[in-house]
Chain A
Amino acid sequence: MLTTLRQLAFRAVTLFGVLLAVLLLLVVSLGATGFSDDLLRAQVNEETRGLRQSLGQTIRDPDQLERTVAERQNELKRFYGLDRPWYTRLPEAVWRVLRLDLGEARSLRTAEGSNSVSDIVLERLPYTMLLLTTSSLITAVVGLLVGVRMATMVGSRLDRAVAYFAAISFAVPAWWLGILLIVIVAFQLDLLPASGMYSTPPPEGRLDRSLDLAHHAILPILTLVPVSVGPYIYTVRTMTVTVAQEDHVQLARAKGLPESQVTRRHILRVAAPPIVTGLILGLAGSLSGSILVETIFNWQGMGRLYFDAVSGAADEGVIVALTFVFTLMYVIARFVLDILYVLLDPRVRLQ
Chain B
Amino acid sequence: MSATPPSDQARADDTTRPAAVSDSPIAAPATFGDSHLEPVSDDESGSAIRSALRLLVANGSGKAGIALFVVMLGISLYVVVTYPLDFGTARWSNPTVWGDNPKNAPPVWTNWVRSDRAVEHTSLTLDEPSQIRAIPAGEVRIFRVPLTYDADEFPTFLSMTLSGVTFHGRPPAILASLQRPDGTAVRLASVPIRAPRAGETAPYRRFYDAPERVLLSEEQTAAQSLAQIYQQTYPGLAVPTNVTDDLGAALFGRPAEDGSGRIVPLTGEYSLEVQTVVADPTDGIAGVRVVLGGTVFGVMGTDGLGRDLFEGLLYGFPVGLLIAFLAAIFSTVIGASLGILSGYAGGVTDAVIQRLSDIISNVPVLPLLIFLVSVLGRHLWLIILVLVAFSWPGLTILVRSMVLQIRSGQLVEAAKALGASRRRIMLRHIFPQTAPFIVAQMIFFAPGAILAEASLSFLGLGDPSIPTWGQMLEAGFRTGALYVGYWWWVIPPGVLIVVTALAFMLLALAMEPIVDPRLRKTN
Residues of A within 8 A of B (CB): 14-15, 17-18, 21-22, 25-26, 29-30, 33, 35, 154-155, 159-160, 163-164, 166-168, 170-173, 175-176, 179-180, 182-183, 187, 194, 231, 234-235, 238, 241-242, 284, 287-289, 291-292, 295-296, 306-307, 310-311, 314, 319, 322-323, 326-327, 330-331, 334
A-contacting 9-mer, from B180-188, B290-298, B367-375, B397-405: B367-375
Alpha-carbon distance A21/B459, docked complex (angstroms): 25
Query: Residue of B at shortest CB range from A17?
Result: B359
Q: 8 Å CB contacts to A: which residues of B334-383?
A: 355, 358-360, 362-368, 370-372, 374-376
Which residue of the partner chain, among A21, A176, A241, contacts B498 with CB atoms under 8 Å?
A: A176
Alpha-carbon distance A331/B473, docked complex (angstroms): 32
Alpha-carbon distance A14/B363, docked complex (angstroms): 11
Chain B residues positioned under 8 Å from A179 (CB to CB): 473, 477, 482, 490, 494
Query: Residue of A at shortest CB range from B508?
Result: A167
Given contacts A22-B363, A171-B502, A330-B364, contact A306 B370 (CB under 8 A): yes
Chain B residues positioned under 8 Å from A292 (CB to CB): 455, 458-459
Alpha-carbon distance A154/B7, docked complex (angstroms): 9
Q: Is the CB of A170 within 8 A of B1?
A: yes
Q: Is the CB of B3 within 8 A of A241?
A: yes
Given contacts A242-B517, A331-B362, contact A22 B368 (CB under 8 A): yes
Q: A168-B502, A170-B501 are in contact. List 16 more A-B contacts (CB 8 A).
A: A160-B5, A160-B7, A167-B1, A167-B509, A173-B494, A173-B497, A176-B497, A180-B491, A180-B494, A183-B485, A234-B1, A235-B1, A241-B3, A292-B459, A330-B362, A330-B364
Q: Is the CB of A176 within 8 A of B494?
A: yes
Given contacts A170-B447, A288-B366, contact A154 B6 (CB under 8 A): yes
Q: Is the CB of A327 within 8 A of B375?
A: no
Q: Is the CB of A166 within 8 A of B359?
A: no
Q: Is the CB of A311 within 8 A of B365?
A: no
Q: Is the CB of B374 within 8 A of A238?
A: no
Query: Residue of B at shortest CB range from A334?
Result: B362
Chain B residues positioned under 8 Å from A15 (CB to CB): 362
**Interface Cβ pair total, 8 Å cutoff:** 146
Q: Is the CB of B459 within 8 A of A291?
A: yes
Alpha-carbon distance A18/B364, docked complex (angstroms): 10
Across the A-B interface, give the 6 residue pairs with the lowest CB-CB distance, nearest first.
A288-B366, A171-B501, A238-B3, A176-B494, A171-B502, A167-B505
Query: Residue of B at shortest CB range from A237?
Result: B3
Q: Is the CB of B367 within 8 A of A21?
A: no
Alpha-carbon distance A4/B417, docked complex (angstroms): 40
A-B contact pairs, 11 of them (CB 8 A): A155-B7, A163-B5, A167-B1, A167-B509, A170-B1, A179-B482, A241-B3, A288-B365, A292-B459, A323-B367, A323-B371
Given contacts A21-B359, A167-B509, contact A29 B498 (CB under 8 A): no
Chain A residues positioned under 8 Å from B505 (CB to CB): 167-168, 170-171
Q: Is the CB of A307 within 8 A of B376?
A: no
Which residue of the partner chain, among A238, A284, A314, contacts B2 with CB atoms under 8 Å?
A: A238
Q: Is the CB of B494 within 8 A of A319?
A: no
